Amino acid sequence: MTPTKPGPDAGPTVALDPSPDAIRAMAAEVIDWVAGYHESIRERAVFPRTSAQALQERLGEPLPQDGRDFASLLDTFRDVVVANARHNAHPRSLGYVSSPGTAVAALADLLASVLNANLTAWRSGPGPAQLERVTIDWVRQAVGCPEGTDGVFVSGGSMANLAGLAAARARRCGPAVNAEGLSAQHRPLRVYVSEEGHHSVDKAAALLGIGHANVRRVAVDARFRMDVADLERRIAADRDAGAEPFCVVASAGTVVTGAVDPLADVAAVARREGLAMHVDACYGGFARLAPSARRLFDGIEDADSVALDPHKWLYLPVDCGCILYRDPGAARAAFALGADYTRVLETAPGEAFAFWDYSPELSRRFRALKVWMALAHVGARAYGEAIESNLDCAVHLGGLVEESEDLELLAPVGLSIVCFRYLPAGFRGRGARTAEEEAQLDSINERVLVALQRDGGSYLSNATVHGRFGLRACILNYRTMRDDMRRLLDDVRRAAVEGGA
């Protein structure tokens, strides 16, 4: 739609404020595409064959001075952007901890964008604010945190881990750390996380002035879970060296192998040693909805804070992370900082609530709507069944790998992650390999992965397991079925031929 040229007293152009009929026409085209996309997802290549130069030639242009018709923009979206996207919704897009998204959540995002509530405090949108608080409590119940736990939705897991560590730092250091920084802290603070823990913990430590050199990487056991005895040794050694241990970060689903640390044992150490316990459950936390996995999360109720990503195993579109605090006061101690323009005038407890007291963010989109709408529309039981199916697919894939002569499992199957590698004929049915042979296998599997990704039938990522290069599958899609696991291995074998393995 070409915008009209406004006169000196004219209002917005037609493009900025279209008529209701024009909105309906645009929306009809969009919804038709959405339905078609969901219908055709299995027939699409997971990953495109393209280049940055080719895309720039089709998309690059100077800043438009005049508008153009919406239909032509939708054509560009369909023909260039979508045609050259990695399709995370595809049932064999298994490379990352990446959600396929759902139709109801996508529509909720549309509604949230239309309402455009900026959820800084209760007064910024009483209805949206109250809905977020209700939905946070649903998340609390889903992962098994105790009553009284509170929190907020944030951009993602990295922000949630940052917030959890900030609350732990404030709890240990008191208000002086906000006023004077870590210069008020006379001994270096130490954080503990397993060797398999997410790098966002190191980044959070750097941003908070703790320093990533003060993040202690704890050894793991044969199933890649935190070794609690090594945790205790490291805490004792740091205290003897004059440092101050203050927080342990347990992983409830690592992104490399899917390992869940022994949460109850870690919690016992944290209590005994006077450390805060933060749980990074961004990938795995919602697997607690699956009955077969629930016992893995025993002990999460003792955590001081829990980081989650609804945009992972609730199958929601990004972005939507979440941070929960068992003691909300610790979060307020970390983040509450007044200014005249943020002064809360309401006095009723529910109405005096301010989201900015619980995370670094001030401006916040209405992320809660898609979480609420998806949970209310689908129900926790159906979510549990879908996650159970993902777990079953991972076990099935691990079994197919173990039964094969030309494939080798590199780690026990953890939650929905399977790490394996391809073995050429000369490497099969043998015992220990030399360092040179291991290097050859690494190189071969790198070529297999590149060929697989370019093929487009299935998509895996890489993982380093015990120093070895492996192929990594993460099943996080309600569309993925057992048959897709067989198709995946067929694609891997074809890629091995194409890659010269």
The total of other beta-carbon atoms located within 10 Å of residue 485's CB is: 26
Give the Cα separation of 476 and 393 in Å (integer). Answer: 10
Task: Reply yes or no on whether the pLDDT at 480 is more than 90.
Answer: yes
Over residues 220-236, mean pLDDT: 98
Residue that the structure tokens 């939650």 belong to: 415
SS (H, E, C) 336-402: CCCCHHHCCCCCCCCCCCEHHHCCCCCCCCCCHHHHHHHHHHHCHHHHHHHHHHHHHHHHHHHHHHH
pLDDT per residue over 241-253, tens digit each?
A: 999 999 999 999 9
The total of other beta-carbon atoms located within 10 Å of residue 40's CB is: 10
Q: How far is CA 142 from CA 19, 181, 297, 383, in A?
A: 43, 36, 11, 11
Sorting pLDDT into bands at 50, 70 and 90, what band is 11?
Answer: low
pLDDT per residue over 160-169, tens digit each?
A: 999 999 999 9
The H-or-E segment that residue 461 falls in is: strand 461-465
Structure tokens at 81: 């952007």
Percent of the chain at pLDDT above 90? 87
Task: Reply yes or no on whether the pLDDT at 5 is more than 70.
Answer: no
Structure tokens at 313: 């195993």
- In which region does residue 144 sit, left (phi positive, over 0), alpha (psi from -120 to 50) or beta (all else)? left
Sorting pLDDT into bands at 50, 70 and 90, what band is 181?
Answer: confident
Give the Cα separation of 431 and 448 in Å (integer). Answer: 23
Give the Cα separation of 406 and 375 in Å (integer). Answer: 42
SS (H, E, C) 302-321: HCCEEEECHHHHCCCCCCCE
Over residues 139-152, mean pLDDT: 97
Over residues 101-126, mean pLDDT: 95
Task: Reply yes or no on whether the pLDDT at 476 is more than 60.
Answer: yes
- Domain locations along the chain: 109-378, 382-498
Q: What is the pLDDT of residue 1?
A: 45
Domain 382-498: CATH class, spelled out: alpha beta
Task: Reply yes or no on whether the pLDDT at 372 is more than 60.
Answer: yes
pTM of the entire structure? Answer: 0.94
Over residues 410-435, mean pLDDT: 91
Ranges assigned E (strand) in 117-178: 150-154
Sorting pLDDT into bands at 50, 70 and 90, what band is 185?
Answer: confident
Give the Cα separation of 197 and 282 in Å (integer). Answer: 11
Give the Cα separation of 327 and 271 in Å (integer). Answer: 15
**Quick one: which of 493, 62, 96, 17 has its CA closest to 282?**
96
Over residues 391-413, mean pLDDT: 97
Task: Reply yes or no on whether the pLDDT at 223 is more than 70.
Answer: yes
Strand-pair category, 461-465 with 468-474: antiparallel
CB 153 within 8 A of CB 368: yes
Alpha carbon dihedral 261, 265, 267, 272, in 10-degree steps, equals -140
Task: Reply yes or no on whether the pLDDT at 496 is more than 80.
Answer: yes
pLDDT per residue over 71-87, tens digit each?
A: 999 999 999 999 999 99
Sorting pLDDT into bands at 50, 70 and 90, what band is 336?
Answer: confident
- Report the chain's mean pLDDT, rounded to a whole number: 93
Percent of the chain at pLDDT above 70? 95
Sorting pLDDT into bands at 50, 70 and 90, what band is 429?
Answer: confident
Reduce the DSSP state of residue 151 to 3 states and report it.
Answer: strand
Residue that the structure tokens 């955590």 belong to: 303
CATH architecture of the domain with residue range 109-378: 3-Layer(aba) Sandwich (3.40)
Over residues 373-398, mean pLDDT: 98
**Quick one: which of 317, 316, 287 has its CA closest to 378?**
316
Does the N-terminal peptide bond of residue 79 adopt cis geometry, omega within 30 degrees of 0? Answer: no
Q: What is the pLDDT of residue 7?
A: 54
